[in-house]
Structure 1
Amino acid sequence: MPTKHLQALLDEVVARHYPHAPATPAQIAAFEARVGWSLDDELRALYLRCDGAALFKPRPRQTYRVLSLREIQRAGAAMRPGQDEAAQGSSTWWTLVSLGDDDYNLIDVARPTPFAILDAFHESYPRQVVEIAPSFAVWLERTLRSDNQLWWLPAHD
């Protein structure tokens, strides 16, 4: 069951951003059957509220686009299509948020839940994939307070 804090964050996404229609329980079950792993409680709450969303600005101008269930794929397939398995990184890394320009925030489904959020930059993938938030709720809070900035990157003056 999602926390009141996560529910408040999802309320904000639905009210102030660009959410898709909610996924149905049947769509979530079909997604989980397709990928072979289950959403954690936080991601399940997200997809039951909206099946993805553009944050801050509508598509195609958004910085952050939380992927719909049908768009989630293995990170390597998204970042290194057609390359050998070693170049594609871990088979347990999956895309969650498109940052444009072939960059993504990922989840690692081999980790305990809630799934941590990882940053994957296309030029250094898969050598440098770093954890940026311990859960989706923490990632969402930081993102919504970021003023549409990639908050985990060093500031450039």
Structure 2
Amino acid sequence: MTMEELLAEVSRVHHPHAPAARAEIAAFEERVGWRLDDELRAFYQHCDGAELFDPLPDARYSILSLAEIRRARIAIRGRDEDSAGPAGWWALVDVQDGDYALLDVSAPRDGGYPLLDGWHESYPLRCRPIAASFREFLERALSGGDKLYWLNE
């Protein structure tokens, strides 16, 4: 599916937030020190976060708003130091129970950022790739029937 088709499905069936304004996106990029890739920019211009399938507090997939995105080491370990994980991993999707889908901004590929499994039990030692891009992640999540698709692999 294209990004436009995925965004239409998010709006039609799921629980999107209001779009982020250009100023909010610019302030986010200034705060974090990296730029949204084209897929993430399209998503946040469409909705500043979303819950897939169920609304909070029952959402298994809660794509964080720009204001909620923070380094994975802060989200998972509570401290912003190298011993708590790489600086280039960012918590993007809260999958509940202290686990996240992480965005790896230190390893861009083909104009986008890969996503990793941020299981708090093994973080940061074993964070395996779960999608090559946000579009792939969103497509697989939407087709997975509210199950964390990478746990069945």
Identity %: 50
Tell me which amino acid in the other structure corresponds to 2:148.
L
Q: How does 1:1-157 map to 2 (within 5 A)?
A: 5-82=2-79, 84-86=81-83, 88-112=84-108, 113-154=111-152
Runs of 4 or more above 3 Å deviation = none
- TM-score after normalising by structure 2: 0.95
**Structure 2 Cα separation of the partners of residues 96 and 108 of structure 1:** 10
**Structure 2 Cα separation of the partners of residues 77 and 119 of structure 1:** 16
Aligned residues: 151
**Structure 2 Cα separation of the partners of residues 74 and 60 of structure 1:** 22
Unaligned 5+ residue runs, structure 1? none
Structure 1, residues 83-105: CA drift from partner, whole Å, max 9, x if none?
A: 7531x110000011000111000
Structure 1, residues 30-78: CA drift from partner, whole Å, max 9, x if none?
A: 0000000000000000000000000000111010000000000000000
Unaligned 5+ residue runs, structure 2? none
SS of the equivalent of 2:2 reads helix
Deviation of 1:154 (Å)? 2.9
**Structure 1 Cα separation of the partners of residues 77 and 31 of structure 2:** 21
SS of the equivalent of 1:51 reads coil
- TM-score after normalising by structure 1: 0.93
